[in-house]
Structure 1
Amino acid sequence: MSTLCSQLQKKMKTLFLAVMALFPAVIMAECTCEADEEDRNKSLALKYKLAAIASILVASAIGVCLPVLGKAVPALNPDRSFFFIVKAFAAGVILSTGFIHVLPDAFDNLTSPCISVTPWGDFPFAGFIAMVSAIGTLMVDTYATSYYSRRSVGKAVAQVGNEEEGVVPVHAHATHGHAHGSLPASGETELLRHRVISQVLELGIIVHSVIIGIALGASESPKTIQPLIAALTFHQFFEGIGLGGCIAQAKFKSRAVAIMGLFFSLTTPVGIAIGIGISNIYSETSPTALIVEGCFNSASAGILIYMALVDLLAADFMSPKLQGSGKLQLGANVSLLLGAGAMSLLAKWA
């Protein structure tokens, strides 16, 4: 009996060593850069893609238009408390999009075994590009606001000068922190700020929306596309509410509002259409595609994270209206957690 046990132990040991020896080979076999040929069905995938275009287009348009049409829906007027609740939810969605969806994808792209180790494996480029993108967004935010403010001051000075027949009664007091008759009112400065925020935010959203659309459109796997339809529809709807809220606060002219809303609504569907067009030549595992997607995703993540934290959440949560109401603070915090949590949950499927 003891001899039998001893032989069995030897055989188990030999088997264990053999499995351990083969394990690296199994791992290497799984890390291939060939596109997965299973679950491909071009005709069915195309039907899902067309459904995705329609669904995402409608959801994006409704989401971005709801805050803009605040006059027709009084509860969504930027001056109402409920608007802060909805905007906090949308900011949570945007923040989660940057941290949970876009940035991890960027790390996956730029650390893929399908691209060369040098230089991509020698340095965390995804995090670096996201950081540089966030800093760049801060600089654009600052300089754009400063530029518009100076231009507004110049116009005010010129207008006063014309009214006074060339005499400009501007008496600036640096120590007092104000200038008579020339500096824009705080309301005008705030309006300029909202305009810069809305434009920069739309830029960040458009970048990652195009990448998502192309990836979905180029896929030929119905199992991959199907869960993405619901996830992206939800994502675009609430991202649209966040952007629409910024556009509504910026008080653009009707033409500018229509152009910004149209750009946002069409970005992902156009990306899907581009993906469908290049699906025969596009390979999601090619080094060029991985590097380009990784860099764009990293940059987009940095923009979205900065905008969500600084321009959407910090600006609203530190505003006098929110600071003066404990009930509104609680509602905004709960709404923020729900938005971030719901979007994070979608990472399970997309």
Structure 2
Amino acid sequence: MAEIPTKFLLILFFLFLSLSPHASAAADSPLECSSGPTGECRDKGKALVLKLVAIAAIFATSMIGVCLPFLSRKIPALQPDKDLFVLVKAFASGVILATGYMHVMPDSFDCLTSECLPENPWRKFPFTTFVAMLSAILTLMVDSYAMSYYRKHNFSGNGARPVDENNKNEELESQGPGHCHGNDILKVDGDNASQLLRYRVVAQVLELGIVVHSVVIGLSMGASDNPCTIRPLVAALCFHQLFEGMGLGGCILQAEYGSRMKATMVVFFSGTTPLGIAMGLGLSNVYSENSPTALIVVGLLNACSAGLLNYMALVDLLASDFMGVKLQKSMKLQTWAYVAVLLGAGGMSLMAKWA
């Protein structure tokens, strides 16, 4: 799996495709493809103020959300082996699931079925669900191959390889998820080591899916001059980033990364939406969200993100926990965990009314 900076550069590459000269084609499109609102819902000054507020508010709530699980070390009731942690993680997993189904996938449908695109092939074939399906399968492949690769290279026989005390954990972590399972994993044996590897794969893949959508939605907000749209979107995104961050933070905590890797992942998650907004601000004069190129690129990226998030939420987070020993041995805790999932998914679904 590539390093985090490499993932980010790849995302930026696809986003910049939407800023090609074709992005200005919307000006020559039919009336229904004209971009931007009119009247009181088009105000660059108010929109700029709201976008600056959004950058600060979203960054702050993202940092709070992703860092909250780290405080569990000081709060016994929130430690990963406690019931409360399971319920909080279930709630956050419900938020992530609803993000994929209720926010990302509908956005992709809107883009890829837009009147600004030719009817053939875009409205003749369900590209959103097709790409989301392929994305889910690809995520499964990454999950499977990554685990096989790590087991092959980190273990011999039924136990762990000898620990090389000369290697430095921080150096290993700086090499990315494919190489950061060094000394701390090799100190444990069998099932514990395999579970730790699993947590690390999940944390990395989940962050990638979240980041793709975060940059896309940030870019769209930054390029918009519509205060009527931006105002409710700020509140919705803060809610979204807070609880989605809690879900990701829980995965990072269980992965037991060192401090440098944790800090990298926290900043990476917290900064992607604000960075997307800043990019949209800087490129608002050349970026048109209704240009054919932008619609296709954003629509396909959202479809990929939807498939990845839905797979991760259902398989790596919910199924993994609900089929695990802790919830299977307690019907009461399992029931409360389902309530938490429904509350998280319901709250995030309600946000779809505004965002």
Normalization by structure 2: what TM-score? 0.82
Count of matched residue positions in the alignment of Structure 1 and Structure 2? 303
Q: Secondary structure at the match of 2:33?
A: coil
Match of 2:88 in 1: 86
Q: Deviations over 1:269-320 (max 9, x none)?
A: 0001001111111111110110011000000000000000000000001111
Matched, 1:95 2:102: no
Q: Deviations over 1:40-71 (max 9, x none)?
A: 11111111001101111011001100112321
Q: Deviations over 1:101-141 (max 9, x none)?
A: 10011011001110122322221111100000000000000
- Give me the whole-angstrom Cα distance separating, in 2, the residues matched to 1:234 and 1:266: 16
Matched, 1:230 2:235: yes
For the structure 1 residues 247 and 157, does the alpha-carbon distance in structure 2 shift closer, same or farther, using more than 3 Å as the test? closer
RMSD after superposition: 2.1
Match of 1:137 in 2: 139
Conserved? CA contact 1:31–1:113, under 8 Å: no
Q: Secondary structure at the match of 1:32?
A: helix
Match of 1:120 in 2: 122
Aligned with residue 254 of structure 2, among 235, 246, 249: 249
Following TM superposition, by how much is the alpha carbon of 1:157 offset from its aligned partner in structure 2, in angstroms? 6.9
Matched, 1:324 2:326: no
In the TM superposition, 1:141-156 aligns within 5 A as 141-154=143-156
- Give me the whole-angstrom Cα distance separating, in 2, the residues matched to 1:95 and 1:157: 35
Which stretch shows the higher mean deviation, 128-137 or 320-329? 320-329
- Give me the whole-angstrom Cα distance separating, in 1, the residues matched to 2:161 and 2:110: 54
Matched, 1:297 2:299: no
- Give me the whole-angstrom Cα distance separating, in 2, the residues matched to 1:153 and 1:247: 22
Aligned with residue 287 of structure 2, among 279, 282, 285: 282
- Give me the whole-angstrom Cα distance separating, in 2, the residues matched to 1:53 and 1:208: 16
Conserved? CA contact 2:112–2:295, under 8 Å: yes
Question: What amino acid is the match of 1:299?
Answer: C
Following TM superposition, by how much is the alpha carbon of 1:327 offset from its aligned partner in structure 2, in angstroms? 1.9
- Give me the whole-angstrom Cα distance separating, in 2, the residues matched to 1:183 and 1:96: 36
Following TM superposition, by how much is the alpha carbon of 1:82 offset from its aligned partner in structure 2, in angstroms? 0.4
Match of 2:162 in 1: 159
Conserved? CA contact 1:283–1:289, under 8 Å: yes
Conserved? CA contact 1:65–1:261, under 8 Å: yes
Conserved? CA contact 2:109–2:299, under 8 Å: yes
Q: Deviations over 1:241-277 (max 9, x none)?
A: 0000000001011110110011000010000100111
Which stretch shows the higher mean deviation, 69-78 or 327-336? 69-78
Match of 2:4 in 1: none
Match of 1:218 in 2: 223
Match of 2:33 in 1: 33
Following TM superposition, by how much is the alpha carbon of 1:325 offset from its aligned partner in structure 2, in angstroms? 1.2
Question: What amino acid is the match of 1:77?
Answer: Q
Question: What amino acid is the match of 2:144?
Answer: T
Match of 1:195 in 2: 200
Q: Secondary structure at the match of 1:92?
A: helix
Conserved? CA contact 2:160–2:189, under 8 Å: no
Question: What amino acid is the match of 1:81?
Answer: D
Conserved? CA contact 2:66–2:248, under 8 Å: yes
Using the aligned pairs only, state the percent identity: 59
- Give me the whole-angstrom Cα distance separating, in 2, the residues matched to 1:46 and 1:190: 46
For the structure 1 residues 240 and 158, does the alpha-carbon distance in structure 2 shift closer, same or farther, using more than 3 Å as the test? closer
Q: Deviations over 1:185-221 (max 9, x none)?
A: 1011000000000000000000000001001111101
Conserved? CA contact 1:67–1:76, under 8 Å: yes
Following TM superposition, by how much is the alpha carbon of 1:31 offset from its aligned partner in structure 2, in angstroms? 6.4
- Give me the whole-angstrom Cα distance separating, in 2, the residues matched to 1:114 and 1:184: 57
Conserved? CA contact 1:110–1:125, under 8 Å: yes
Question: What amino acid is the match of 2:291?
Answer: S
- Give me the whole-angstrom Cα distance separating, in 2, the residues matched to 1:95 and 1:306: 9
Question: What amino acid is the match of 2:231?
Answer: Q
Match of 1:342 in 2: 347
Q: Secondary structure at the match of 2:115?
A: coil
- Give me the whole-angstrom Cα distance separating, in 2, the residues matched to 1:122 and 1:60: 39
For the structure 1 residues 139 and 344, does the alpha-carbon distance in structure 2 shift closer, same or farther, using more than 3 Å as the test? same
- Give me the whole-angstrom Cα distance separating, in 2, the residues matched to 1:30 and 1:81: 56
Normalization by structure 1: what TM-score? 0.83
Q: Which has the larger radius of gyration?
A: 1
For the structure 1 residues 45 and 183, does the alpha-carbon distance in structure 2 shift closer, same or farther, using more than 3 Å as the test? closer
Instruction: Extract unaligned runs of 5+ from structure 2.
Output: 1-28, 164-186
Q: Secondary structure at the match of 1:78?
A: coil
Conserved? CA contact 1:137–1:306, under 8 Å: yes
Matched, 1:207 2:224: no
